Structure 1
Amino acid sequence: MQKIPTMFERDWNGDRSRVLNQVHPGCEWVVAGEGIATQKIDGTCCLIRDGALFKRQEIKQGQAIPTDFEESGFDDETGKRVGWRPIGDGPEDKWHREGFANLADKADGTYELVGPHTQKNPEKYEQDILVPHTVETLGFSDNPPRNFDGLKAYLAEKDIEGIVFHHPDGRRAKIKKRDFGLKR
């Protein structure tokens, strides 16, 4: 899974955790109204491939790369490598295994591990489970705005982590509450 670009430029000369009212190059399609919006849920990204479960991992510049790491992308801005590691039998993967066991349809694709043991459970799931990253599962019933001020106001009113926009050709873009300095 490639790292999803944030739809607005970061404030690289000021507070890097915030965005500016400038569309990130390559994300103009979002502002043009193309694609579908889905909820970005707060958990841990996973991949099911050929019946096996993998967890997403970021490797910072200078960190050792594990031998079982499959790189899927490189972020030129941060120097981080993004990729997948297989879920093992150790205690560090206990909740991944439980979430996988609680999933009825183990179709290939990307998922978010959510539940009582992940990220303090902001999504309020009663059990650890994998939620598929699909429009059918995470699509909005309303149509969120697509401009800086509209998105900031929209996210201020919602108890969500953020939004992921999906273009029919596979491109994606994201925006999170915290990009605007908003707290959940």
Structure 2
Amino acid sequence: MNIVLASASPSRRSILNSAGVEPVIHPADVDEDALIAGLPKVDPDKVVAALAEAKARKVAPDHPDDIVIGCDSMLLLDGELQGKPRSAAATVERWRRQRGRTAELITGHCVVGPGGARSVTVSRTAVVFADVSDADIEAYAATGEPWQCAGAFTLEALGGWFIDRIEGDPSNVIGLSLPVVRRAIYELGHDVNEFWKPVDAAGKD
């Protein structure tokens, strides 16, 4: 049995790698904008949960004997969900709005196990943005790093310079909450150690 990640996100893969798991990478082909447009006006948690579930359910039929994880993250600022900026100009505009302020990074998780049993959970983490200079905002936007990131930042790379603190689960901000996934794996009747990579004991006493 494997863990299958329904995402091409290197950040999510890195979280699992650091936690001893080498996931099968199977990105879900989901039109996120169309899915959001088709949803009734609902609360932010339900939006990210619906996106995560759509991704997991898209991939799960191809991996009936594995555990499939679908995730989606968005930033809640001024009562509005912010997705990926996708360009330098949009990144600059976003950062000029959010610098010096606090917002919530919301990540939806859908974990599907063998037989189709699934757990859908949403996790929130408060992010306190630094009062970043215009020069740093423009330089950061020009790198391209934040273009495909919810909230227009990364916590674990260059964007870490511009986050004063977080309140809550740090892995959730990166895009996949290990506590949420652990609880889901338990609900599906498994233990997380079943998915750890074998440790190479060569050369050890």
Larger fraction in helix: 2
Larger fraction in strand: 1
TM-score by length of 1: 0.24
> Which structure is higher in RCO with an 8 Å CA cutoff and minimum separation 6?
1
TM-score by length of 2: 0.23
Q: Which one has a bigger Cα radius of gyration?
A: 2
